[in-house]
A and B are shown apart, each in its own frame.
Chain A
Amino acid sequence: GAGVSQSPSNKVTEKGKDVELRCDPISGHTALYWYRQSLGQGLEFLIYFQGNSAPDKSGLPSDRFSAERTGGSVSTLTIQRTQQEDSAVYLCASSSGGTSHSYGYTFGSGTRLTVV
């Protein structure tokens, strides 16, 4: 597609429920990233995909968080047994840079998750 698409744009869920957040990157972009933006905080790195593999998942906050990417394209971030502290905007980004460090990302508009 023309840009990075994320769905849903907003999600309200009850504490303890599982949620799935979807990211559809720019066609042909091999690198995909998930970040979290909490109120009053900066952007926190969660996980990086190169193709379908995740060489760096060091930012996942706990084992309740997992992510996968299939077909080198769409990625899903799953949060199990959601907690109120999981409330944040979850941002996905993609780039064609692979291991190059000079490329910038293209970000999606994010999914605003609210856990009540």
Chain B
Amino acid sequence: GNSVTQMEGPVTLSEEAFLTINCTYTATGYPSLFWYVQYPGEGLQLLLKATKADDKGSNKGFEATYRKETTSFHLEKGSVQVSDSAVYFCASNAGGTSYGKLTFGQGTILTVHP
């Protein structure tokens, strides 16, 4: 079956620090991979995605590269801001008979202090 494992949080950083949130997946076939973000009091929003190996998704200064050899999709940002404080979810979608069903990681809480 499909599964997604994220690094455990919470993660606390100072503003302008470098961020990495690790994500690894197991899946049959070649899934698409996603990062979703949930800001306080809001719903989940798609942050970025990658649909095949070596693709890099990017948005709002965040990046993640689809690494088939290590089955990973780690989220990075070079300089975080207080406004990046949120919960981040990694997800995979195996497609085919799994339709669009996403398998989510447990989520990582990020808090950025001024």
Chain A residues within 8 Å of B, Cβ to Cβ: 4, 31, 33, 35, 41-43, 45, 48, 50, 55-56, 91, 93, 95, 97-110
Contact = CB atoms under 8 A, between A and B. Distances in A.
B31, B102, B105 — most chain A CB neighbours (10 Å): B102
Nearest to B94: A101
A31 B99 contact: yes
B82 interface: no
B114 interface: no
B104 A101 contact: no
Contacts of A91: 43-44
Nearest to A41: B106
Contacts of B44: 43, 91, 93, 105, 107
B88 to A, nearest CB: 12
Interface string B62-79: 000000000000000000
Contacts, number: 74
Given A99-B99, A100-B95, A42 B107 contact: yes
Contact of A45 (B46, B49, B96, B101): B101
Given A104-B34, A109-B43, A42 B105 contact: yes
B46 A56 contact: no
Interface string B8-34: 000000000000000000000001101
Interface string B33-45: 0101000001111
Given A102-B51, A104-B36, 19 more contacts: A31-B99, A33-B102, A35-B104, A43-B44, A43-B104, A48-B101, A95-B100, A100-B95, A101-B51, A101-B93, A101-B95, A101-B98, A102-B32, A102-B95, A104-B34, A104-B46, A104-B49, A105-B102, A107-B44
